[in-house]
Structure 1
Amino acid sequence: MAQPLSKNDIQEALGSLKGWEFGDDKIKKEFEFNDFSEALGFIVRVGLEAEKQVHHPELFNVYNTVKIQLSTHDAGDKVTQKDLDLAKAIESVL
């Protein structure tokens, strides 16, 4: 089982993940695109990467905006290295 990270470890790691924030035991970011089509394409690419990592984000979409929240369910819904790894992968699909 993945181990929760300390708040300090999370904050330090977020220094290299532009726009990601920590709150409510999750790391999160909002992405904005030109239109729904671009937002949906992004969601699909994120979904494929999440499947590869066997770690699935919370995704929220309204028209051209996608909000993503990450925490690890089997670690008590806390942030683990798995979340940071997926956040990095999400950044790479942009």
Structure 2
Amino acid sequence: MAQPLSEQDIRDALNSLEGWEFEGNKIKKEFSFNDFSEALGFIVRVGIEAEKQVHHPELFNVYNTVKIQLSTHDAGDKVTQKDIELAQAIESIL
């Protein structure tokens, strides 16, 4: 089982992840695209990466905006290293 990170560890990790925030035991970010097709393509690529990592994000989409929230369910819905690693992978998709 993954171990929750301390709040300081989370904040330190987010220093290298532009635009990501820590709030409510989740790390999250909002992404904007030119249109729905670009947003949907991004969601699909995130989904493929999430499946590879066997770690699935909360995804919310309205037209050209995608909101992603990450926490680890088997760690009591807290942020773990798995969330940081998925956030880093999501950033590389852009």
What TM-score comes out, normalization by structure 2 length? Answer: 1.00
1:8 Cα deviation after fit: 0.1
Structure 2 counterparts to residues 8-87 of structure 1, below 5 A: 8-87=8-87
1:64 Cα deviation after fit: 0.1
Structure 2: state its 5+ residue gaps: none
1:46 Cα deviation after fit: 0.1
1:63 Cα deviation after fit: 0.1
Rounded to whole Å, the distance in 1 between the matches of 2:52 and 2:93 is: 13
CA RMSD for the aligned pairs? 0.2
1:54 Cα deviation after fit: 0.1
Q: Secondary structure at the match of 1:89?
A: helix
The amino acid of 1:63's aligned partner reads: Y
Moved over 2 A (4+): none
How high is the sequence identity, in percent, across the aligned residues? 84
What TM-score comes out, normalization by structure 1 length? Answer: 1.00
Q: Secondary structure at the match of 2:51?
A: helix
The number of residues matched between the two structures is: 94
Structure 1: state its 5+ residue gaps: none
The amino acid of 1:66's aligned partner reads: V
